[in-house]
Structure 1
Amino acid sequence: MSKQPDTTSVKDLELYTKTRSTLITGTLLPDKRKVDIWYDETGTIREIGPDISHAHKGDADIIIDGSGTLAIPGLYNTHTHAAMTLLRGYADDMHLQQWLSEKIWPLEAHLTGDHVYWGTKLACLEMIRSGTVAMNDMYFFMKDTARAVEEAGIRAVLCHGIITFGDEAKLEQEMKATEDLVRHIRSQNNPLIRPAIGPHAPYTVPPQHLEVCAEYSRNEDIILHTHLAETKQEVDDCQKTNGMSPAALLDKTGCLSSRTVAAHGCWLTEDDCRLLGERGAHIAHNPVSNMKLATGRAMPYHHLSEKKVNVSLGTDGCSSNNNLDMFEEMKTAAICQKFFWNSDTLLPAGEVLSMATSSGARALGYSAGEIKPGLSADICLLSLNHPSMVPLHNPVSNVAYSALGCTVQTVICNGKILMYEGYIPQEQEIITGASSSATDLLDRAARQ
C-alpha cells in the first residue's frame, strides 16, 4: 500500500471504501509491547501479539507497516454540534447569553439542510484527521447530518435538538422531527449510526415535556442526549422554579437512566453525582468549551469517580471550542481538574485516555474503545517520529499531555481505513464545499 495513493486509481480508492482483512505489523501499544494486530473482514479484532504476522500474512488482504507508530483506540467525542464548524470564529470573546442571543441563534435561523451537510462533512474530516472515530451529535436537519456521517465512515449517535419552552405545538413538531429521524436512521441499516432523542436541557424543556422524551427513549431503547448543570444560573433557576436540582428534575421526569448521556455537569453537587451513579447515567465532560465560556466551575470529577459515574469527553461545537481535537480536550480535562480542585494527582493520564476511548464507547453503546480481541477495530496509529512523542518514557503520558491531533498518522473505524499516513480521499473537495457553504450562510443572514 503506497503512502500517497494515486487518486485516479480505483484499486487504491477501494481501500478506503471497504473493510478487508488487515494485518498491522510492528506497532507499539501504550504498555510498550511491540505487536501485530490482525482484524478480519467484519472489522473485528481477532488476534494481537508479537508473532502473529507469520500466521496471518496469507489471510490479510491489506498489510500496514506499523513500525514507528503507537496504536491507541480511536477517540470518542461524546458531545458535539458538528455542523457548527461553519460558525467557527464567527463570534468569540463574548458573554454567554449575548453570544447566543445576538450571534449564534440569529445566524442558525438561516441554516438549511445543505449547510448542515457541509458543516458535518467538515467536522468529520477534522475528527478523522485528529483520530476521532465516533461522535454524539445534537443539532438540526439531522438527516443531512446522517448522510454526511455515512459518507465519512465514522460512528455517530444522532438526535434532533428539542427546545419547547412549554409550547405544546412546538413539542409536537419536535417529536415528529425526532420520530422521522429515528425511522430514517433505522431504514439505512448502518450499524455505525444510531438514533437518539435530544431534549436540549431542563431549562428549555419543562418537566411535562421531559417526561414525553423519557418515555420515548425508554420505548425505543435509544440514548437520551441532553445538557445538564452547565451554569450556576440554570441550577439556581431550577432550584427556585422546581425546588430541586436539574439532575434531580431529570430523575423525577424519568430522564435519568443508563441510556442518558448528559453534557457538561460543571455545577453538579455531590448528591447529584450519587444520583447519576445510582441511575447508571453518563457524563460528557467538555472542558475547553466550559472554560472558554467561563462557566465558573470545573466538573466535579472526584465526586463522579467516587460514585462510579462513567465520564467521557466531548468538544462541544466549534462555535464555542473552536476545534474538534480530542487530544487537546484530554490535556485540558486533566489540567483543568488539577488546577480547579487543587489536586495534582486528580485525573491522571491513564484515566483521561480511558475517558476519550473506552468510556466514550461505553456511553454510546458501541463494542469498541479498546484494542482487544473480539472488539471492533477502531484504531489510531500515532507517529513516534513526531517531536511531541519524543522521547517515549511513558506512552500514555505522551498521548494525554503532549500529543496533538497532527500526531495521528492512520485512522481505522470498524476495520475500514479512513486515513492512511495523512491521506484522506476527497479532502480538498470537502474543504472547498464547506467554505462555500459558510459564505452562503452569512450571505443569507445579511440579506434578511
Structure 2
Amino acid sequence: MSLLIKDVQLDSAPTDVLIEGNRFKTIASGIDETGHEILSGAGRALIPGFINMHTHASMSLLRGYADDLHLHDWLNNHIWPLEAELTEEDIYHGARLACLEMIKSGTTCFNDMYWYYHGVARAVEEMGLRATLSSVFIDLNDAERAAAEREQAVRLFEESRRYSDRLSFALGPHAIYTVSKTSLKWAKAFAREHGLRFHIHLSETEKEVEDCLSLYGLRPVQWLEKIGLLDELTLAAHVVHVTDAEIGILADCGVEVVHNPVSNMKLASGSFPFQKMERAGVKLSLGTDGASSNNNLCMLEEMKIAAMQAKVTHGDPTVLPAQTVFEMATCNGARALGLETGAIREGLLADCVLVDLDNPRLVPGFSLIDDLVYSADSSCIDTVICDGRILMRDGHVDGEEEIIAEARRYKKRFQ
C-alpha cells in the first residue's frame, strides 16, 4: 500500500511525500504518480502529528461534570466515586470520543493512564491512532489490593500482545499518595525487566509535597530517587512543586517530565518552573491531562497556553518560544516514548497532519510554526494520517456522528 501526497508545503517549500506501508519512503519533488493513491497537498502544509504525553482519555465522558474544585476534593468526592460505576464498555465509548477529538485536532499518538485497559485499547485499535497505554495502579497501602493490582498488571502485559504494533504497554502507578512503597518498587522493577515506560503523577500539589515530607522527611522527587524509581523510562506528569535540587535530580536521572499547563492552571496546582527545568537540561514534553480537568484534548491550545504561562511566570516574553513548544508537542514526545516518529523524514513512521493554509487563522502566513502555536485551532486541521493510514480527510472522520451520539447518552446517565 502506498500513498503519495503531491505538492504539499514542507519547510516552506512545495514537495511530494511518498508513504509506503507505514513509513515515509521518499520526500522529493516530481515523484512518479504511477501505482500510488494520490492525495493533493495543494494549499496545505505537512507537519508531524502531535503526541499528547499525559491523558486519561475516557474521562472525555466526564467533561464538565465536576469543575471549579480543588484537586483532592475533585478526585475523592466527585471523580473516583463516579469512576467506580464505570464498566469496560463505558471506558470504550469514552476512549472513542477522546480519539475522535484528538484526531480532529491533529494528535496521532497519546500516552494514557486509565481503568479498563482493554476498553481503551479496543477504541485505539478501531480509531487507528498510536498509543502507549497503562492501566491505573492504585492500592491505597492495602496489601490485599496491592496483590490484586500486581496480578492484574502482569496479566494485562501478557494480554497486550494481542494488539497491533501501534499500541505499547506501560506501568501506570497513579501517585506516591495512592500507591504503597512496596508496589511502587515492584512496578518499577517489572517495568525495567520488560523495558516498559513507568507513568506517574509527581509533585502536582503542595499537599502531596507536605504529606511526603511528613511521612519520609523527603520531598517526592528526592524520595523516589532514594528508593530507586527515577530513570530514563520514567514519565513524570505535572512536576510543579520542585526545588532546584529536585530539578537537578530529574535531569541527572534522565526523567521525562510532562508539562500539563491547562490542567495545572484550572486546578490551581501551581506554576511549572519551565525556565529552571530547561536550563538544568530536564527532558520536557507536553500533555493535556484528561478532559475532566482541562477540559479538552487539543494540543494546539496546550502549546499556546504552555508558552503564555511560561512567559508570564518568568516575566520574560522570550521564554518558551514557539519552536521549542512545538518540539515538546512532537519530537520530544516521540523520544519519551521511544518511537520513530515526531518528524517528517524518510524512514520514520508516517504519522502526519495536513494543515489548511487558507484557514483565516493562518493568514497571511509569516511563520507556520508561530501561527500553529499562537493562532491555530482545530479548524486548521484538514487531514490526519497515522501509521500510513488516512484517519481524517477534509475535516471528517468516518463514523464520527455515531461516536458523538453514543457519548451524548452519558449526560443523562451521570446527572
User: Which bracket does the TM-score occupy, shorter chain normalised?
Assistant: over 0.9
Instruction: Note the 1:32-431 alignment, pairs <5 A.
Output: 32-41=12-21, 43-49=22-28, 51-53=29-31, 56-60=32-36, 62-188=37-163, 190-296=164-270, 298-431=271-404
Alignment size in residue pairs: 415
Indicate whether 1:28 and 2:9 are aligned: yes
Q: Return the alpha-carbon distance in structure 1 between the equivalents of residues 245 and 111 of structure 2.
A: 26
Matched to 2:152, the amino acid is A
Give the superposition deviation at 1:270. Answer: 1.8
Do the aligned residues in 2 keep the contact of 1:368 with 1:378 (CA within 8 Å)? yes
Post-superposition Cα deviations, 1:178-207, rounded to whole Å, max 9, x if no partner, equal: 12221111133x111011111111121132
Q: What SS does the aligned partner of 2:237 have?
A: strand
Structure 2 letter corresponding to 1:219: E
Secondary structure at the residue paired with 1:197? strand
- CA offset digits 1:1-30 (Å, max 9, x no partner): xxxxxxxxxxxxxxxxxxx3111111112x
Residues 111-168 of structure 1: per-residue CA shift (max 9 Å, x gap): 1111100000000000001100111111101111100110011011111111122111
5+ residue gaps, structure 2? none
State the alpha-carbon separation in 2 of the partners of residues 25 and 152 from structure 1: 25
Cα distance between partner residues in 2 of 1:374 and 1:52: 19
CA distance in 2, matches of 1:270, 1:68: 47
Secondary structure of the 2:169 match is strand
Following TM superposition, by how much is the alpha carbon of 1:300 offset from its aligned partner in structure 2, in angstroms? 1.4
Residues 17-66 of structure 1: CA distance to partner in whole angstroms, max 9, x if unpaired? xxx3111111112x31222111112x1112212x242xx31142x11110
- SS at 2:288 equivalent: coil
Contact in 2 for aligned 1:326/1:405 (Cα 8 Å)? no
Write the distance in 2 (CA, Å) between the matches of 1:317 and 1:264. 12
Is the Cα–Cα contact under 8 Å of residues 162 and 198 in structure 1 kept in the other structure? yes
Give 1:438 deviation, angstroms: 4.8
Quote the offset at 1:236 in angstroms.
1.9
Comparing 423-432 with 77-86, greater Cα deviation is found at 423-432
Which amino acid counterpart does residue 154 of structure 1 have in structure 2? L
Shift of the alpha carbon at 1:293?
A: 0.5
What's the CA shift for 1:83? 0.5
Amino acid at match of 2:362: M
Contact 1:70–1:383, Cα closer than 8 Å, also in 2: yes
Q: Which stretch of structure 1 is more off in the superposition, 298-307 or 158-167?
A: 298-307
Per-residue CA deviations over 1:192-230 (Å, capped at 9, x if unaligned) read 101111111112113222111111111121100000111
What is the match of residue 446 of structure 1? none
TM-score between the two structures when normalised by the length of structure 1: 0.90
SS of the aligned residue for 1:396 comes to: helix
Amino acid at match of 1:166: N
**Which range is displaced more, 204-213 or 137-146?**
204-213
CA RMSD of aligned residues (A): 1.3
- Post-superposition, which runs of at least 4 consecutive aligned residues in structure 1 deviate over 4 A? none
C-alpha separation between the residues in 2 aligned to 1:47 and 1:286?
35
Which ranges of structure 1 fall in alignment gaps of 5 or more residues? 1-19, 444-448
